[in-house]
Amino acid sequence: MHRNLITILFFLSFLLIKPSLLAAEENFPVKGNLRTRVDFWKKVYTEVTTTEAFIHDSVDLSVIYKKVSLSSSRRKRIREAKKEKRKIASLLRSIAKKKYQNLSDQESEIVQIVGKREPSVLRKMARTVRYQYGLRDRYYTGLIRSYTYMEEIQKIFSELGLPLELSYLPHVESSFNYRAYSKIGAAGIWQFMRGTARLYKLKVSYIIDERRDPLKAAVAAAKLLKANYKLLGTWPLALTAYNHGPRSVSRAIRKLGTTDIGEIIEGYKGRRFGFASKNFYATFMATVEISKNPTRYFPSFNKPKAPESNTIKLAQSLTVKHITSNLRIPVAILKEFNPSIRRVAYRSNLFLPKGFVLNVPKVKDSLLKTYTSTLRNLKIDREEMQLGHLHIVSRGESLFDISRIYKTTITKLIAFNRISNPSRIFPGMKIKIPGKKDQVIVAKLSRQRKIETKPVIKKILPPKLGEPRFIGPPLASTANLASYALDIKKVSRGIYQIQVEIEETLGHFAEWARSRAHSIRNLNLIRYGAHINLGQKLKLRMSEKRIEVFKRRRNQFHLSLQEDFYNNFKVNGKDEYRVRKGDTLLDILKRKKLPYWLVRKEQKKFKLNHRLAVGQLLSIPEVESLTPESSLFPKN
């Protein structure tokens, strides 16, 4: 009777468990060795800061040898962590050699941690020692930031039928930092690459980058996760594919004949399925468990209130200056509420497009109507719009060519841009085009055809803060397009030939040429579904008038990649890498976590391509972040 009562009470308690918890366990299982992995990452997120590290085993995450304090300097941190890693590896080898006899105090401490294992096992463990920086401070900052967007993100995910646990994914990707940018070009809190963003209808132009808009990108992330789930069948695999790619995860399923995430993590030996990919799901689940109950891990935590905002749809193209000066909104506030506006829009007079949805701090309805009316009724003439025009120099272009395009003079271009050496303009250099109302110094020419140093008309204002001074050839660490093949060759009337460059797609060419992707496929006999490759030559059909627009948008696309990189990273020096047998360029780039364009740009003795020779020396740039790391696990 007593046993039956216990059974009944247990059954009733099971029925009282919240359906959401049962659904969470079903959708996001954590069992077996996965629990060990999740618990390890919870320690990383809650017990050690970014100036501390765990020295641990990379295979068995239950083995944490020690916690170490490190310098605040990034370079010193790396050296110190590597030194501690070598020390632990040396102790393990020493224990194996001594076979547990006459151990030092340090060796005895290691034995207490790992237990008595076969010497061969210890030697193997010496090769799998790893260090992991702590994330407690970074996670806590991200937790506070997350409440700015969390309610709206969860609403989006709910409307699209996704589990709400997925809304915590940016903790792993970016710590909810919309400014996050990785070395290979992933941006925003969801860390979208440009190509993926384009697939999911996020606008990425020279002025606007919707990858940085947490809510617009949330819609795209939800659709991407849903597509992964439809393809792979489980949420753990859909999440792993978010980082590792659905094709690679599908390959793992076929290889092992299972969709169990735990079995795949432990059993799949794919070349690209390394530590980051194996631990991505566990890291995500660690942030889910912490974020659902933050006061358990951070007793002083208080949930912040999300800032409120209003939106204004621009009825005409306007510059940032038009908006801030007429609405009296500080630039810093406009930046905070509109993360999708690229930095270049604040540093120049480039126009935001008509129809752009502008976010402003929450105001009364009457004031919002005034804001909307003010911006709609601003008088912006065509001449003023010309003042903000930037020309990005293509390979082979001269100031003479540019002056003809814009119907101005070489002298005005030189004066307006303060170009000290007109013969040294370079691909990717930005030339401001003066408008009719612009005040430009027109210096007199002497008989020797030299420009006088003393101006004879009006004084020109110095460049605004952040604007470049064009004083010579490009530096290696500045944005330029000298290494790009961006020439356009006329084949016949209305038909032009180009060479495919880095990250370009048929969709890009269709947009820039005002054509359709299927038309380009037909013209080049490319079957549907086939990929285009770097260096491949393609024919495009477009009018002669469209050439300049095509060139400008293409140049802007590539220049924005470099500008985003140099806004977040700096090149401190170079290192040489000798190509080994079995190396591919993609593998080297992945290991070094560097973009193709940057490595190609740094090769001075030859032009980089995918065909590498064993023994070939590559010049590899050493890159340092100017901001906190954007993603714990960069995209593959």
Beta bridge partners of 391: 431
At the top level of CATH, the class of 489-563 is: alpha beta
Widest pairwise Cα distance in the chain: 117
Q: Within 13 Å, how many C-alpha atoms sit on residue 100's CB side?
A: 10
Adjacency order of strands within the sheet including 489-492: 489-492, 495-499, 537-541
What per-residue confidence (pLDDT) applies to 441? 52
Residues 158, 495: Cα–Cα separation, whole Å:
48
CATH architecture, domain 570-625: Roll (3.10)
Pinpoint the alpha helices (H) of 439-524: 506-513, 517-524
User: Span 614-634, mean pLDDT?
Assistant: 78
State both tokens at 199: 């697939």
What per-residue confidence (pLDDT) applies to 629? 55
Q: 442 pLDDT exceeds 70?
A: no
- In the structure, what pLDDT confidence band is assigned to residue 18 with cuts at 50, 70 and 90? very low
Q: 529 pLDDT exceeds 80?
A: yes
What per-residue confidence (pLDDT) applies to 607? 83
User: Span 12-21, mean pLDDT?
Assistant: 44
DSSP string, 188-220: TTTTB-HHHHHHTT--B-SSBBGGG-HHHHHHH
pLDDT in tens, 269-293: 988 899 999 999 999 999 999 999 9
- In the structure, what pLDDT confidence band is assigned to residue 438 with cuts at 50, 70 and 90? low
- In the structure, what pLDDT confidence band is assigned to residue 627 with cuts at 50, 70 and 90? confident
User: Span 105-116, mean pLDDT?
Assistant: 95
State both tokens at 511: 């947009």
What per-residue confidence (pLDDT) applies to 286? 98
pTM of the predicted model, to two decimals?
Answer: 0.83
Q: 13 pLDDT exceeds 60?
A: no
What per-residue confidence (pLDDT) applies to 209? 97
What per-residue confidence (pLDDT) applies to 7? 46
For the chain, which residues make up each domain, given as ranges? Answer: 309-386, 396-473, 489-563, 570-625
Indicate the length of the chain as a whole number: 636
pLDDT in tens, 548-599: 889 989 999 999 999 999 999 999 888 999 999 988 898 899 888 899 999 9
3-state class of 373 per DSSP?
helix
Q: What is the dihedral of CA 255, 259, 265, 268, to 10 degrees?
A: 0
What per-residue confidence (pLDDT) applies to 432? 80
Average pLDDT, whole number, for the chain?
86
Sign of the Cα pseudo-torsion (290, 291, 292, 293, in order) = positive
pLDDT in tens, 136-192: 999 999 999 999 999 999 999 999 999 999 999 999 999 999 999 999 999 999 999
Q: Which of 97-101, 438-442, 600-604 has the highest mean pLDDT?
A: 97-101
What per-residue confidence (pLDDT) applies to 381? 66
What per-residue confidence (pLDDT) applies to 364? 95
User: Span 184-202, mean pLDDT?
Assistant: 94
Pinpoint the alpha helices (H) of 430-535: 506-513, 517-524
- Would 489-563 and 570-625 be classified into the same CATH topology? yes
Q: 348 pLDDT exceeds 60?
A: yes
State both tokens at 271: 């070349």
What per-residue confidence (pLDDT) applies to 448? 39
What per-residue confidence (pLDDT) applies to 479? 81
- Decide which of 207 and 427 is more confident: 207
User: Span 125-132, mean pLDDT?
Assistant: 97
